[in-house]
Amino acid sequence: MNLRQFLLRKLMLFFTLSTLITVAIYILGASLDPAARFGYTGFLSPLIYAGACVIPSLVTWSKRELKPRELLLRELLQFLLTEAVVLGLAFRSDVIDTSRPAVVLGIAGSVLVIYLLVFLISWAANSAEARETDRELQEFQRLHGVDLCVPDKTAQRN
């Protein structure tokens, strides 16, 4: 994946996170502090959190394809950094009552759920993209009578 594709995926990540964070804020707020009311600046918090959560995802960038173990370690590091960023923002906030363990656990659990949902959404999108690429390759092979998976025997003789 080149840098442009990587950055486009991070932009998609930002919008996906913004949506999921908005839902998480609603669920946590409605269940843990239903009487709270926010001004218009409250609408910025999902954008701020999403932007802050995209930054740890940059640890997954690599010019070469990563080995499965390397990818797993980078994904784990990304998750831990994301938890740290979100909890750090929550503890610095005047609006979020981080003195209540239920609130802190709710935030940490929400980060895990959102992380898993983003992973599933990305997997589904990547799988659809791979299926489309396979379909296009098969169509190309059918139209040109070429099987790109079978080595060219004339090239092997040289």
pLDDT band at residue 158 under the 50/70/90 scheme? low
Measured CA to CA, the distance from residue 98 to residue 81 in angstroms comes to 19
Residue 56 has pLDDT above 80, yes or no: yes
Q: Please, what sign has the CA dihedral across residues 40, 41, 44, 46? A: negative
Residue 157 has pLDDT above 70, yes or no: no
How high is the pLDDT of residue 141? 86
The DSSP code sequence of the chain is --HHHHHHHHHHHHHHHHHHHHHHHHHHHHHH-TT----GGGGGHHHHHHHHHHGGGGGG--SSPPPHHHHHHHHHHHHHHHHHHHHHHHHH-SSS-TTSHHHHHHHHHHHHHHHHHHHHHHHHHHHHHHHHHHHHHHHHHHHHT--TTSPPHHHHH-
Stated pTM of the model: 0.79
Task: Supply the mean pLDDT for the chain.
Answer: 89
